[in-house]
């Protein structure tokens, strides 16, 4: 499928230039996300059998179709594994991950798959696992399950550390005392620890008193 030809009228040169600066080193066509989302609604699951292409937009389109297609779990995981080698930047990672809401109905089965990503040497495999925890494991009952994995696996790459910091900041906003106590048990590097506090401080959802406490806890 040639997206450049298919969406020739929708290509935005300014949007293309902006994204080339945002995620350098990737093939950007300049097609806005809402256009891709609308087109994804017209495609049936057979699209997922087609070979993936290297452009940023094609990666998004594939992930959007996967998120909305009616499939059994084994098929979803098979197609997700097919997509992962093309998950090479934080933007497509986060947008595609957000649309895999089917994970919420299959948490136990999905966890073993996410565990394999945490063990990967690829930082975007790892980031996908952490953003999945953030976006689809939001129940109070998920805390113990996810915290065990945070304790077991070390986030050592920039985009993985950023994802873990994002997850911890969401927990801090939701239950500060429980989360900060948990963070103190971890051997977190200063970057991830401080970034979690920074994100908490910057959030409009964080109470003023919690922001003040976070500002006193930063590590050097």
Taking the chain (220 residues) in consecutive chunks of 10 residues, what is each chunk's mean pLDDT? 75 93 92 93 93 90 97 97 96 98 97 96 97 97 95 94 98 97 94 97 96 93
* pTM for the model: 0.94
Q: How far apart are CA 63 and CA 65, in angstroms?
A: 5
Q: What is the pLDDT of residue 10?
A: 85
Which DSSP letter does residue 51 get? P
Q: Quick one: pLDDT at residue 54?
A: 85
Gap between the Cα atoms of 200 and 183, Å rounded: 14
Place of tokens 């939701």: 174
Residue from 150, 162, 160, 156 nearest 196 by CA: 162
Q: Produce one character per residue of 87-96: b if its CB has 16 or more CB atoms within 10 Å, e if not.
A: bbbbebbbbb
* Residues 107, 73: Cα–Cα separation, whole Å: 11
């Amino acid at each position: 499928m040639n997206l450049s030809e298919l969406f020739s009228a929708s290509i935005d040169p300014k949007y293309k230039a902006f994204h080339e600066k945002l995620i350098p080193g990737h093939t950007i066509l300049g097609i806005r996300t809402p256009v891709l989302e609308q087109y994804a609604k017209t495609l049936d699951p057979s699209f997922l059998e087609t070979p993936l292409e290297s452009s940023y937009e094609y990666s998004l389109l594939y992930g959007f179709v996967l998120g909305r297609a009616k499939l059994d779990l084994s098929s979803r995981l098979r197609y997700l594994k097919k997509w992962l080698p093309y998950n090479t930047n934080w933007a497509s990672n986060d947008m595609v991950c957000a649309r895999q809401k089917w994970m919420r109905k299959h948490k136990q089965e999905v966890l073993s798959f996410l565990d394999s990503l945490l063990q990967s040497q690829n930082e975007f495999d790892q980031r996908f696992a952490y953003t999945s925890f953030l976006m689809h494991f939001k129940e109070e009952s998920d805390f113990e399950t996810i915290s065990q994995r945070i304790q077991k696996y070390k986030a050592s790459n920039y985009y993985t550390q950023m994802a873990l910091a994002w997850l911890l900041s969401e927990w801090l906003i939701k239950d500060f005392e429980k989360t900060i106590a948990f963070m103190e048990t971890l051997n977190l590097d200063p970057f991830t620890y401080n970034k979690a506090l920074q994100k908490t401080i910057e959030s409009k959802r964080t109470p003023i008193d919690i922001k003040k406490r976070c500002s006193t806890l930063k590590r050097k």
